[in-house]
């Protein structure tokens, strides 16, 4: 691959080697690639061109030297030098072309060249002739290469380059081009972005989510950056520990999501319907959760989750929490208060059962403290032992209702059944048990209060007496022991 | 520090082998062994539940076999202790009621408290503060009787409240609703009292006090030396001499392996007990 086009350039014509390379490149290009030829051969495999290169190395000059030219990188240098020139004199004029040029007038030749140029700029192939070089970079070192094959398959594959790069009218084109304006075609999406958290198009260009502009696929295509299974990774590029989120002080939600029940369904099962980022947050018109119009604003969350969990949402709306939220009480819990937003766990999992009671207790503090005194809590808080009753085992989870409501599982009429879920053989007397009894409340639980008082007095009284008794005894016995030892060396006190 | 072997060697040097006398029968020693093993087990599995919010509770729960196992082991030890208790009650019943053995309920060999115990308690307290002579104790001193009855009462109370929780729906047939709440309070408070009492008062009174330090071996070997017998229980010794029954109580010196084995087991039990005591106190006052 070290073949250098310069070898074929006569030295005397090479005032500036860089120029000469460019010239040789373009002159041969214009001479030989009478554009129709280029079009038909545009997708020749690299191996073929490599073969040609090898042939040339063996002394045979190929038909399309510009392809080889690309491989020695001089094209890139030329591009970097920014000194393309068209129409320089051909360095090496072959017989048939010479005859052609001589036989035609210059005007005809120029007209042909103009026609060639305009045709070229209307087709991908022409641009790819340069930009198809995978190593092509601009002056600042950014890749300006386009993979023609992938681009052809992409959602924009049928477009011409200057449909998007609208400021390219002719070749050569200016080195600096205006940014592509996606809005021109995607007006609805652009309108959605206005006012959203990603509204700043400099910080969040379309490509930050949709990926490389030349490899955008439909969202149903698994290669798409916004294919359901790829969305978390796409969003996570910024919204994870080391991403942009950190810079902006946003929580790192990507790892939490990936370990959640939704993340597992998506990554392990490949479940397309599993909730991904945009299922809850939307795609273009993402609003801050502080914005009352946001799908993640507190009062809107039940509806958002309910778009999949419809039945649970119905139950929730019927319960006391759902009614409170609907009435505008922002203190009442919505789905995310108990289940969290991103790190959602399977509710039957030990870790969820462990973490949920304090969540209820963060509002119902008095109930939590009396629950803590019961055997349910004592054994339950020992970690993995999850069988003991947690709040919602008795109160219901989504359709929490006051005990006075006949539908409530803690309504007197339902207690035998509710307790009986765990305590087989529970009867009316059994359900007299108070799961939130307060042994320190004389009015509410007098019997329990006095039992506790008696036991406390017994404990403190017995221990106080015997601690004093034993301390005195110890001192006296030690004194006797020392006294005896000093008198007769006796062993016992 | 007193050592049985040393003591024996010393007495031999003074001329005449040291004599040993039987205090506890083999059955009584086994009963004590079962009692303290199950009690340590119950304490180790019960305390993490009682103080489930403590930092060490989870670690201890893990140590006894995980969170699911802790209640299983607690119940297991409870059943073994219940069986031991029933065997003991049956023995008392057989000896005291069927065979009409008077010493069980009455007299100086009985565990039943009497007027002398009250006098001994006050006499002992007076002696402690230097206001009188040391009382002469019989076969069972007042604090030993208290230990016995504390355990006896404790097993009934803790056992009943424990079974009431275990079989709550069954007990609900004849217990009022509030009693189901009360049994937990009773169980945990009485259990706590038992743990604090055994691991502090009983340990010191019986094993760690200067007379017996580091532990009283008699409950393991069953026998004690004549000197110790005379010193600790002069009234019992005098009674046996008076009744001519002393020779019948004489026993062989404890074998070395038994002494060593008892020391190891006893030390482990005391260390576990004191550890649990420290954990309990830290949890209680934090």
Within 8 A by CB and 6+ apart from A379, the residues are A385, A388, B49, B52, B67, B70, B71
C-alpha closest to that of A183 among A156, A201, A209 = A201
Segment B147-172 mean pLDDT: 94
B269 φ, ψ (degrees, to nearest 5): -60, -40
* Subunit contact B177:A379, Cβ cutoff 8 A: no
- Segment A439-447 shows an average pLDDT of 91
How far is residue B251's CA from residue B23's CA, in Å, rounded to a whole number?
10
Whether residues A58 and A138 fall in one domain: yes
Q: Does A453 share its domain with A409?
A: no
Q: What is the mean pLDDT of residues A378-389?
A: 72
Find out whether B91 and B59 touch, Cβ atoms under 8 Å.
Answer: no
Residue scoring higher pLDDT (A242 or B149): B149
pLDDT for res A95: 57
Please give, rounded to a whole number of angstroms, the shortest distance from the CA of B254 to a CA of chain A.
20
- Quote the pLDDT of residue A44: 43
> Which residue in chain B is spatially nearest to A480 when comparing CA positions?
B210
Q: Look at A4 and A352; give whichever has higher pLDDT.
A: A352
Name the residue facing B61 among A383, A480, A492 (closest C-beta). A383
Q: Could you tell me if residue A471 is inside a domain?
A: yes
Q: Which pLDDT score, from 0 to 100, does residue B161 have?
A: 95
Q: What is the pLDDT of residue A111?
A: 53
By C-alpha distance, the chain B residue nearest A377 is B52
**Residue A119 pLDDT > 60:** no
Contact flag A455-B169 (C-beta cutoff 8 Å): no
pLDDT for B213-253, tens place per residue?
888 899 999 999 999 999 999 999 999 999 999 999 999 99
Torsion-angle region of B200 (φ positive above 0: left; ψ -120 to 50: alpha; else: beta): alpha
Half-sphere exposure (Cβ direction) of A360: Cα atoms closer than 13 Å: 22
With contacts defined as CB-CB under 8 Å, which chain A residues touch B190? 455, 458-459
Instruction: Quick: pLDDT tens for A398-412.
Output: 989 999 999 999 999
Residue A307 domain flag? no
Nearest-CA distance from B99 to chain A in Å? 35
Is A472 within 8 Å of B173 when comparing Cβ atoms?
no
Do A26 and A167 lie in one domain? The reply is yes
**Percent with pLDDT over 70 in chain A:** 73
Residue A291 lies in a domain: no
Domain that holds residue A102: 5-178
- Give the number of other CB atoms < 10 A from CB of residue B11: 16
* Domains along chain B with CATH numbers: 19-284 (1.20.950.20)
In angstroms, the CA B75 to CA B84 distance is: 14
Are A48 and A133 members of one domain? yes
Tell me which residue has tokens 């079989």. Answer: B167
pLDDT at A76: 40
| Residue A144 included in any domain | yes
Dist. CA A253–CA A280, nearest whole Å: 13
Question: Helices B142-166 and B115-128 meet at what angle, rounded to 10?
Answer: 110
| The length of chain B, given as a count of residues | 286
**What Å distances lie between residue A166 and A145, A152, A282, CA to CA?**
18, 19, 30
Mean pLDDT value across chain A: 76
Residue A9 C-alpha from the chain's centroid: 53
Residue in A374, A430, A455 nearest the CB of B189: A455
User: What are A382's strand-pairing partners?
Assistant: none
Q: Assign B251 to helix, strand or coil.
A: strand
Specify the length of chain A in residues: 493
**In sequence order, what are the beta bridge partners of B20?**
B225, B251
Lookup: tokens for B246: 């002393």
Q: Does the pLDDT value for residue A234 go beyond 80?
A: yes
Q: Which residue has the higher pLDDT, A436 or A46?
A: A436
Q: Are strands B250-251 and B223-225 parallel, antiparallel or unpaired?
A: unpaired
Average pLDDT over residues A118-139: 74
B96-144 pLDDT tens trace: 999 988 888 888 889 999 999 999 999 999 999 999 999 999 999 999 9
- Strands laid side by side in the B223-225 sheet: B223-225, B20-22, B250-251
Give me the half-sphere count of Cα atoms (radius 13 Å) on the Cβ side of residue A222.
3
What is the chain B residue with the closest CA to A457? B189
pLDDT computed for residue B240 by the predictor: 92
Contacts of B180 by beta carbon, 8 Å cutoff, 6+ apart: A430, A432, A433, B164, B165, B168, B171, B172
Q: What is the pLDDT of residue A144?
A: 87
Provide mean pLDDT across the span A125-132. 83
Contact B52 A462 (CB under 8 A): no
Model confidence at A60: pLDDT above 70: no
CA distance B131 to A415: 64
The residue among A429, A436, A444 with the most chain B CBs within 10 A of its CB, best to mutate, is A429
B169, with CB counted inside 10 A (0-12, 13-18, 19+), is middle
Are residues A442 and A431 both part of a single domain? no
In a domain, A211, yes or no: no
Query: Could you give the angle at the alpha carbon of A313 between the alpha carbons of A312 and A318, nearest 5°?
Result: 100
DSSP code string of A134-147: TT-B-TTS-B----
Chain A, nearest residue to B47 by Cα: A378
Q: In whole angstroms, how far apart are CA A336 and each of A296, A397, B107?
A: 10, 13, 73
pLDDT score at B176: 87
A450 vs A113, higher pLDDT: A450
Mean of pLDDT values over A325-340: 90
A433 closest CB neighbour out of B50, B180, B209: B180
Q: Do A174 and A79 sit in the same domain of this protein?
A: yes
Q: Mutate which of B65, B172, B212, B227 to disrupt the A interface (most A C-beta within 10 Å)?
A: B172
Q: How many angstroms separate the CA atoms of B68 and A472, rounded? A: 44
* Distance to chain A for B243, nearest Cα, Å: 26
Name the residue facing A379 among B49, B53, B175 (closest C-beta).
B49
Task: From chain A, pick out residues whose CB is under 8 angstroms from the CB of B129.
Answer: 472, 476
The pLDDT of residue A101 = 55
Confidence of residue A7 (pLDDT cuts 50, 70, 90): very low
Q: Report pLDDT digits (tens) over B26-84.
A: 999 999 999 999 999 999 999 988 888 888 888 888 777 777 788 899 999 999 999 99
Q: Which residue of B has its CA nearest to A469?
A: B125
For residue range B99-108, what is the model confidence (pLDDT) as tens digits?
988 888 888 8
Please classify residue A231 by burial: count the beta carbons closer than 10 Å to its beta carbon, then call 0-12 exposed, 13-18 middle and 19+ buried. buried
* Contact residues, chain B, for A417 at CB < 8 Å: none
- Specify if A202 maps to a domain: no
A447-463: per-residue pLDDT in tens?
999 999 999 999 999 99
Of A32-46, A100-114, B256-270, the poorest mean pLDDT is in: A32-46
Tell me if B180 and A424 make a contact (CB, 8 A cut-off).
Answer: no
Tokens standing for A367? Answer: 């109930």
For residues B162 and B79, is the Cβ–Cβ distance under 8 A? no
Q: Are residues A50 and A106 in the same domain?
A: yes
Contacts of A458 in chain B (CB under 8 A): 189-190, 193
Closest of A20, A427, A165, A382 to residue B70, by C-alpha? A382
- The H-or-E segment that residue B21 falls in is strand B20-22
Same domain, A412 and A473: no
Same domain, A399 and A464: no
Please write the tens of the pLDDT for every residue from A246-282.
Answer: 777 788 888 889 989 999 999 999 999 999 999 999 9
Domain end marker among A153, A178, A203: A178
Q: What is the pLDDT of residue B59?
A: 83
Domain boundary among A421, A437, A453: A437
Q: Which residues does chain A have within 8 Å of residue B124's beta carbon, measured at their own beta carbons?
A: 473
Residue A251 falls inside a structural domain: no
Lowest mean pLDDT among A426-435, A461-470, B122-131: A426-435
Final residue belonging to a domain, choices A178, A204, A232? A178
Mean pLDDT for the stretch of residues A131-149: 86
B256 vs B32: CA distance, rounded Å: 20
Chain B neighbors of A469, CB-CB under 8 A: 125, 128, 143
To the nearest whole Å, the CA of B8 is away from the closest chain A CA by 13
Mutation for testing the A interface, residue in B169, B195, B206 having most A CBs under 10 Å: B169
Asked if residue A375 is part of any domain, the answer here is yes
Residue A465 has pLDDT above 90, yes or no: yes
Question: Which residue reads 């019948």 in tokens?
Answer: B248
Q: What pLDDT is recorded for position B5?
A: 55
Domains identified in chain A, total number: 3
Does residue A121 share a domain with residue A38? Answer: yes
A486 and A388 co-located in one domain: no
Shared-domain flag, residues A153 and A20: yes
Test B178 with A434 for CB contact under 8 angstroms: yes
Q: What is the pLDDT of residue A21?
A: 35
Contact B128 A447 (CB under 8 A): no
């Amino acid at each position: 691959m070290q073949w250098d086009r310069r070898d074929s350039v006569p030295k005397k014509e090479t005032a500036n080697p860089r120029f000469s390379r460019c010239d040789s490149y373009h002159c041969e290009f214009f001479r030989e690639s009478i554009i129709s030829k280029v079009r038909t051969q545009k997708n020749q495999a690299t191996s073929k061109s490599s073969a040609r290169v090898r042939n040339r190395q063996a002394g045979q000059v190929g038909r399309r030297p510009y392809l080889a030219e690309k491989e020695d990188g001089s094209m890139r240098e030329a591009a970097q030098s920014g000194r393309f020139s068209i129409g320089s004199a051909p360095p090496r004029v072959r017989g048939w072309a010479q005859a052609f040029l001589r036989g035609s007038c210059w005007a005809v030749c120029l007209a042909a060249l103009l026609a060639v140029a305009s045709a070229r700029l209307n087709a991908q192939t022409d641009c790819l002739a340069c930009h198809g070089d995978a190593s092509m970079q601009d002056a600042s070192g950014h890749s300006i290469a386009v993979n023609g094959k992938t681009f052809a398959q992409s959602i924009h594959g049928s477009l011409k380059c200057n449909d998007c790069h609208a400021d390219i009218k002719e070749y050569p084109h200016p080195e600096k081009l205006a940014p592509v304006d996606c809005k021109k075609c995607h007006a609805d999406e652009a309108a959605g972005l206005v006012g959203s958290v990603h509204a700043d198009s400099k910080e969040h260009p379309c490509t930050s989510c949709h990926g490389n502009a030349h490899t955008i696929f439909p969202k149903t295509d698994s290669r798409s950056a916004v294919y359901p299974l790829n969305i978390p990774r796409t969003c996570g590029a910024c919204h994870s520990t080391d991403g942009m989120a950190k810079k902006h002080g946003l929580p790192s939600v990507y790892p939490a999501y990936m370990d959640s029940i939704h993340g597992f369904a998506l990554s392990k099962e490949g479940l397309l319907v599993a909730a991904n980022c945009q299922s809850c947050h939307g795609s273009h018109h993402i609003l801050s959760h502080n914005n009352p119009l946001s799908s993640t604003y507190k009062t809107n969350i039940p509806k958002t989750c309910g778009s999949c969990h419809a039945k649970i949402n119905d139950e929730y709306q019927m319960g006391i929490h759902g009614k409170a939220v609907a009435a505008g009480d922002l203190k009442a819990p919505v789905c995310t208060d108990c289940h969290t937003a991103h790190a959602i766990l399977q509710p039957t999992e030990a870790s969820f059962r462990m973490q949920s009671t304090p969540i209820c207790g963060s509002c119902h503090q008095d109930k939590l403290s009396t629950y803590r005194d019961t055997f349910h809590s004592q054994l339950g808080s020992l970690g993995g032992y999850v069988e003991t009753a947690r709040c919602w085992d008795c109160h219901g989870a989504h359709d929490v209702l006051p005990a006075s409501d006949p539908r409530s599982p803690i309504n007197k009429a339902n207690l035998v059944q509710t307790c009986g879920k765990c305590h087989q053989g529970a009867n009316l007397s059994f359900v007299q048990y108070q799961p939130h009894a307060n042994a320190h409340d004389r009015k509410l639980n007098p019997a329990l209060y006095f039992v506790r008082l008696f036991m406390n007095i017994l404990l403190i009284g017995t221990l106080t007496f015997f601690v004093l008794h034993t301390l005195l005894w110890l001192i006296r016995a030690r004194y006797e022991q020392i006294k005896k030892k000093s008198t007769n060396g006796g062993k016992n006190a | 520090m007193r050592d049985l072997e040393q003591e024996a060697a010393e007495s031999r040097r003074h001329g005449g082998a040291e004599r040993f006398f039987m205090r506890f029968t083999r059955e009584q020693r086994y009963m004590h062994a079962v009692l303290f093993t199950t009690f340590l087990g119950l304490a180790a599995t019960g305390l993490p539940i009682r103080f489930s919010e403590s930092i060490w509770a989870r670690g201890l729960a893990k140590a006894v076999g995980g969170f699911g196992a802790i209640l299983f082991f607690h119940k297991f030890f409870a059943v073994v202790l219940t069986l031991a208790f029933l065997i003991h009650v049956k023995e008392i019943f057989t000896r005291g009621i069927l065979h009409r053995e008077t010493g069980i309920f009455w007299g100086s060999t009985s565990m039943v408290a009497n007027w002398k115990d009250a006098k001994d308690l006050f006499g002992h307290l007076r002696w402690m503060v230097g206001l009188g002579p040391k009382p002469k104790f019989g076969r069972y001193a007042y604090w030993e009787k208290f230990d016995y009855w504390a355990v006896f009462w404790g097993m009934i109370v803790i056992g009943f409240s424990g079974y009431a929780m275990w079989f709550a729906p069954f007990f609900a047939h004849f217990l009022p609703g509030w009693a189901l709440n009360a049994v937990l309070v009773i169980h945990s408070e009485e259990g706590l009292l038992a743990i604090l009492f055994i691991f502090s008062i009983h340990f010191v009174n019986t094993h760690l006090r200067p007379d017996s330090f580091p532990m009283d071996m008699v409950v393991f070997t069953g026998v004690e030396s004549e000197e110790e017998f005379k010193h600790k229980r002069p009234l019992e010794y005098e009674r046996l001499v008076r009744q001519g029954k002393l020779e019948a109580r004489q026993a062989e010196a404890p074998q070395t392996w038994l002494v060593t084995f008892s020391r190891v087991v006893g030390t482990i039990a005391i260390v576990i007990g004191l550890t649990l005591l420290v954990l309990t106190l830290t949890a209680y006052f934090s």
